[in-house]
Structure 1
Amino acid sequence: MEKRFRFTNDKIRALPPNPPDARGTDMEFSDSEVMGLKCLVGKSGNKRWLLRYRSPSGKRRSIALGRFPDMDVALVRKVARKQLTQIAEGIDPLEVRDEVKTQPTLSEFFWDTHFPLIKTRNRTWKQDGQRFRTLVEPYLGVVRLADITVAQVQQLQLTLSQGVKGRSPLAPATCNRALALLKTIGAHALRLGLVEVNQAAKIPLLQENNIRTRFLDLDESKRLLVAAAEFKNRSIGGLVAMLLLTGCRVSELRLATYSNLDRKNRVLTIPHYQTKNKQGRLVYLTDKMLEVLDSVPPKEGNPYLFPGRLAGKPLNNFRVAFDRILRAAGITDVENICLHTLRHTTASNMVSAGLPLSAVKAQLAHQSIQSSERYAKLTPKSLQQTSEQVSKLFSD
């Protein structure tokens, strides 16, 4: 049987299996058109493509190209010629393939390299892990890190924002958090030299319009304090009241322990690892605040000021209870109010009472006065007072 001929699909299809008693596993045939292109026929009749060549260093090597009929003759010749061009340019295609195999996928890089790093640096590492697992990994996880394109990142953004079958469109803010995570991952890979370009950095964030303008006025705030004091779960009622009285973030108070409380000096210490800006601060306690803290009975073995139901754990997942407190206070639009609204309310009421923005900045531990200024803009009472003062300028 002729072992060297011009390959065609019909001739390859007609090749018989390698005899069962043959010494070798495969019978080899050579293409007369492309040097080094081989077709290996096994004893079961399966046919696979192989390219034999000499590497730029002179070593005899071979690289698998695929199987027939998955790859027909025209396609395998095209691939083989591309490999031979690389060899002529001094590139060994086998080394290139092995190098590609060592390149991590996006999932491998995230979980093996990026995630362990952010666990030591970011307070939101758990959210980042969940965000990657649910929003990014299902679409780009198997893609090699170096192969991710701008078009793929753009398509992910469109998929999340417009929705797909079985998945509703997500809010712009949620889509932006996923894209921001990809940008951060890309920047990390760029620093390590694993990619040449951070492709995600080329995609702009979506415009967000989710700024909350709802806050409780002074009358609503007073009613809420009463409802919180009467709520049967004193741990939840006490936390809601303290959030409103102090303007602290939920995590700052929820994770506060008895070791952070100095009753003698009337101070609650918020450690740096519980604050957003990673700077510890002091909350000066009033008689009213101490009264609220005293109304929360401690649980044996639980170090938290606002203990949860689980032994040794703080409060968690009490949105339903918060809604009940709001309704008990006569506040019905609960869908427009979240726990963070109470921090917003504290600042807004401070501005309405005429306190300077510097006081708001200090009470809420803002890093810049610009963060405090937004509350002045959102306070109708302060704007009304300003209008009255302007009018008085022309009334004399």
Structure 2
Amino acid sequence: MATAKRFKFSMTLVNELPATDETSASRETEYSDSACTGLRVIVNRKGIKRFLFRYNYQGKKRSMMIGELGAFDVKDARLKAYEFKRLLAEGLDPKTERDSKRAVATFYEFGEEHYLPYSMANKLSFRNDVSILKNYFYPLWRESKLNAIQTQEIQRFMDSLSGKLKPASINRMLSLIHRMLKLACEWGHLTTNPASHLKKLKENNQRTFFLSSEQTTRLLKSCDADGNQSAANFVRLALLTGMRAGEILNSKLEHLEFPDGEASLFLPHTKAGLARSVPLNESALAIIREQQLLMKPSNPYLFAGRFGDKPMSHPKKAFLRIKERAGDLDKLRIHDLRHSFASILINSGSASLYDVQHLLGHHSAQTTEKYAHLASGRLRDVSSHVSDFVANAVRVS
């Protein structure tokens, strides 16, 4: 049995160290490893043994606990001690470095404690974020420290989804991880965003459907014939305002405003996380007035749900029923009503892409550019004025 206070540690000798005597003035007995300077074993009166590392940093004596015997053996304790010695050789304080690493949140902690509360308050797509985190990100990075996630690791994960998911779905995931890590930088959890330079995939699964004048007529007649007038009003309002489904469903009567005598609907939370006001034309205002008559006294939402004070759920079944009654609209999605609103605006000849951008609430003009081809007919008509002017000039000459 080892009785000297300094000896070469081995599992046999460390295990044989006796508990500190009850009559001892000290509650613990300390032993030094002769094979690794600074490594200690502390034994208390109950016989519990812990590894400790003692060192000097900038002229001051310091110590840090490594761990209890069992969780660490002699070999593990020495490796930790050598790791601390390496940091000292680089001019770093091992304790400060370890404490700073412990202070960094894991990806799961940041997601649950910081990002999701923000998402819930600012994004209509909050449930989509929850689904992506639960099914994709948490299984991969649950215990990872935020500052341990590398660019190449994110890229490999995105590459692994190729062929399994559509490019648009993969891009949504990339947008989410980019947004989360960007916010982590803004909120002081990170210094750099490892996803900042990753590029999105080219989306080849986008399709946009625009209602013709004749199809619009059939759709609106089908709305008139539907038994669920709230769902029918939802479809009408989507076509008349270009609002997103979530924006309509989350609208409350208190959001109806009349600045300068003109009706508008204030949206406190949009997909982009920014508030905006939607100008209401006469037909849209008439739909809202009609919907007011269908509201429930205790429910603040224009489109009230069946129970409690919640909004109406997404009227997918009613929309399918309305489409089938209208006929030959199988390709039409609810979001295509928003596209059709933009198409009607541009083809009217009275709206520019700038107008469409602001009416649809696009944060970036680049998003609105997908409607640029719709303006070609109007631009051709405008260009024809130049042709007429030149032709007249030639005749005069």
TM-score w.r.t. the length of structure 1 is 0.73
Please say if residues 254 and 315 of structure 1, whose CA atoms lie closer than 8 Å, have aligned partners that are also in contact.
yes
Q: Distance in 1 between matches of 2:96 and 2:114?
A: 24
Q: Which one of the candidate residues 173, 182, 188 is aligned to 1:187?
A: 182
| Cα displacement (A) at 1:341 | 0.7
Please say if residues 6 and 32 of structure 1, whose CA atoms lie closer than 8 Å, have aligned partners that are also in contact.
yes
Q: Distance in 1 between matches of 2:128 and 2:256?
A: 31
Q: Distance in 1 between matches of 2:14 and 2:98?
A: 29
Show the counterpart of 2:359: 365
After superposition, the C-alpha distances for 1:190-243 in whole angstroms (9 at most, x for unaligned) are 345543322121332233233222233222222211211111111111221232
2:328 pairs with 1:355: no
Show the counterpart of 2:339: 344
2:297 pairs with 1:298: no
Q: Secondary structure at the match of 1:365?
A: helix
Q: Which one of the candidate residues 317, 320, 338 is aligned to 2:314?
A: 317
| Cα displacement (A) at 1:322 | 0.9
Show the counterpart of 1:147: 148
| CA distance 1:324–1:53, change in 2 (3 Å) | same
Q: Distance in 2 between matches of 1:113 and 1:193?
A: 12
| CA distance 1:278–1:299, change in 2 (3 Å) | closer
Q: Which amino acid aligns with 1:200?
A: A
Q: Distance in 1 between matches of 2:254 and 2:275?
A: 19
| Cα displacement (A) at 1:299 | 3.6
After superposition, the C-alpha distances for 1:44-66 in whole angstroms (9 at most, x for unaligned) are 99865433334434325243156
**Worse-superposed segment, 253-262 or 103-112:** 253-262
Please say if residues 235 and 308 of structure 1, whose CA atoms lie closer than 8 Å, have aligned partners that are also in contact.
no
Q: Distance in 2 between matches of 1:200 and 1:369?
A: 23
Show the counterpart of 2:393: none
Q: Secondary structure at the match of 1:244?
A: helix
Please say if residues 39 and 48 of structure 1, whose CA atoms lie closer than 8 Å, have aligned partners that are also in contact.
yes
| Cα displacement (A) at 1:92 | 3.1
| Cα displacement (A) at 1:103 | 2.5
Please say if residues 346 and 353 of structure 2, whose CA atoms lie closer than 8 Å, have aligned partners that are also in contact.
no
Please say if residues 239 and 341 of structure 2, whose CA atoms lie closer than 8 Å, have aligned partners that are also in contact.
yes
| Cα displacement (A) at 1:15 | 5.3
Q: Which amino acid aligns with 2:66?
A: A
Please say if residues 269 and 275 of structure 2, whose CA atoms lie closer than 8 Å, have aligned partners that are also in contact.
yes
Please say if residues 18 and 44 of structure 1, whose CA atoms lie closer than 8 Å, have aligned partners that are also in contact.
no
Q: Distance in 2 between matches of 1:69 and 1:250?
A: 55
1:110-189 matches, within 5 Å, as: 110-115=111-116, 122-124=122-124, 126-127=126-127, 130=130, 133-134=133-134, 135-159=136-160, 161-162=161-162, 169-189=164-184
1:1-396 matches, within 5 Å, as: 1-2=1-2, 3=4, 4-7=6-9, 11-13=10-12, 16-19=15-18, 22-23=21-22, 29-39=31-41, 49-59=51-61, 61-64=63-66, 67=69, 71=73, 73=75, 76-115=77-116, 122-124=122-124, 126-127=126-127, 130=130, 133-134=133-134, 135-159=136-160, 161-162=161-162, 169-258=164-253, 268-273=263-268, 278-286=275-283, 290=286, 294=290, 297-301=293-297, 302-331=299-328, 333=330, 336-351=331-346, 354-358=348-352, 361=355, 365-366=359-360, 374-375=370-371, 377=373
Q: Distance in 1 between matches of 2:45 and 2:291?
A: 84
After superposition, the C-alpha distances for 1:158-207 in whole angstroms (9 at most, x for unaligned) are 45x259xxxxx443333333332332333333345543322121332233
| CA distance 1:322–1:15, change in 2 (3 Å) | same
| CA distance 1:28–1:133, change in 2 (3 Å) | same
Please say if residues 5 and 32 of structure 1, whose CA atoms lie closer than 8 Å, have aligned partners that are also in contact.
yes
Q: Which amino acid aligns with 1:310?
A: F
Q: Secondary structure at the match of 1:338?
A: coil
Q: Which amino acid aligns with 2:80?
A: V
Q: Distance in 1 between matches of 2:291 and 2:255?
A: 18
Q: Distance in 1 between matches of 2:280 and 2:235?
A: 16
| Cα displacement (A) at 1:280 | 1.5
| CA distance 1:65–1:229, change in 2 (3 Å) | same
After superposition, the C-alpha distances for 1:63-108 in whole angstroms (9 at most, x for unaligned) are 31564685553x5434322322433555332232223222222333
Q: Distance in 2 between matches of 1:176 and 1:278?
A: 24
| Cα displacement (A) at 1:324 | 1.4
Q: Secondary structure at the match of 2:178?
A: helix
Q: Secondary structure at the match of 1:281?
A: strand
Please say if residues 106 and 142 of structure 1, whose CA atoms lie closer than 8 Å, have aligned partners that are also in contact.
yes
| CA distance 1:192–1:76, change in 2 (3 Å) | same
Show the counterpart of 1:166: none
Q: Which amino acid aligns with 1:86?
A: L
Please say if residues 257 and 266 of structure 2, whose CA atoms lie closer than 8 Å, have aligned partners that are also in contact.
no
Q: Which amino acid aligns with 1:365?
A: L
Please say if residues 229 and 241 of structure 1, whose CA atoms lie closer than 8 Å, have aligned partners that are also in contact.
no
| CA distance 1:189–1:93, change in 2 (3 Å) | same
Q: Distance in 2 between matches of 1:34 and 1:105?
A: 33
Question: Can you give the 5+ residue segments of structure 1 that lack an aligned partner in the other structure?
Answer: 164-168
TM-score w.r.t. the length of structure 2 is 0.73
Between the aligned residues of both structures, percent identity stands at 28
